[in-house]
Amino acid sequence: MPSAKVNNTEINYRFEDYGHENTLVFSNSLGTNFSMWKKQHEEISKHFNILFYDTRGHGKSEVTEGDYSAELLGNDILQLTEFLGIHYFYFCGISMGGLIGQWLALNGEGRIKKLIISNTAAKIGTGEGWNSRIKSVSENGLSSILEATAERWFTESFNKNHKNEVDGILKNFDETPLLGYISNCAMVRDADFRNDLSKISIPTLIISGKYDEVTTVEDGDFLQTNIRNAEHVILETCHLSNFEKPTEFNSAVIQFLNQ
């Protein structure tokens, strides 16, 4: 896979230009890489060019030292798209990627045409909770939270009936660089857009999982209420809606972006 040196880091990406008018950028969740979007590829590529990338500290992208911020990770995307000659684009981020999307909508200088934020919130969790997570994985490694991660990310039936797929996601989680994971935990801990959502004016699609206990339907309702031009879709999923219900997810994305 190609990589680009942008914003003082090396970002792993895959850009697929199908000759469409618009490009959709996908941003992964905490502890994954861009392969988490594989179920979007075939259907979305019929309508849009696609840019996949590994968030800094994840996958094959570089791990830089220190706590990350939404501003830092947002500028990674702004500079990567400029490097590739993509000035205006659609953006789809899930969980952590949804926080980055909110920062981009607020600070991207009009470069984001439409925003999709899935299984996310204006503020995810608490500082105490994230500091506890950082301490736990620092001492015990990511493998210590694999079982709990599967339970948070997927419904019981999906965990039971799609074991090979779940195992693949968990393998990528376990292989995430520990320092990169911790640095991104700090970003999620510190990001808080609750008082800024009214400043987002671009069309926004919010996708929530009915059974998601990490970023709840109520979190999605809060986003919709406070973003002036937003709609909210609820899927029968837990936290990784795009992976558990790809057909419904893809349909919602395409319908929103084509309207």
Over the stretch 213-225, which tens digit does the pLDDT of each residue have? 999 999 999 999 9
- CATH no. for residue 21? 3.40.50.1820
CB distance 28 to 58 below 8 Å: yes
CA 45, CA 156: separation in Å to the nearest integer? 31
Report the pLDDT averaged over residues 40-51. Answer: 98
CB distance 152 to 238 below 8 Å: yes
| DSSP alpha helix (H) spans, the chain | 38-44, 70-83, 96-107, 127-140, 146-153, 156-161, 163-175, 178-190, 217-226, 241-244, 246-258
Q: ∠24-47-91 over CA atoms, to 5°?
A: 15
What pLDDT, on the 0 to 100 scale, is given for residue 1? 76
Structural domain of 186: 3-258
φ/ψ of 49, rounded to 5, equals -65, 155
Of 252, 229, 234, residue with least CA distance to 114: 229
φ/ψ of 102, rounded to 5, equals -65, -40
Termini Cα distance of the chain: 33
Each residue's pLDDT tens digit, 10-45: 999 999 999 999 999 999 999 999 999 999 999 999
Q: Is the pLDDT of residue 53 over 90?
A: yes
Which residues are within 8 A (CB) of 13 and not within 5 positions of it... i.e. 6 or more apart?
Answer: 1, 2, 3, 4, 34, 51, 52, 53, 54, 80, 84
Q: Return mean pLDDT, the chain.
A: 98
Q: How many domains does the chain have?
A: 1
φ/ψ of 108, rounded to 5, equals -85, 10
114, burial (CB in 10 Å: exposed 0-12, middle 13-18, buried 19+): buried
CB distance 209 to 154 below 8 Å: no
Instruction: Quote the pTM value.
Output: 0.97
Q: Is the pLDDT of residue 95 over 90?
A: yes
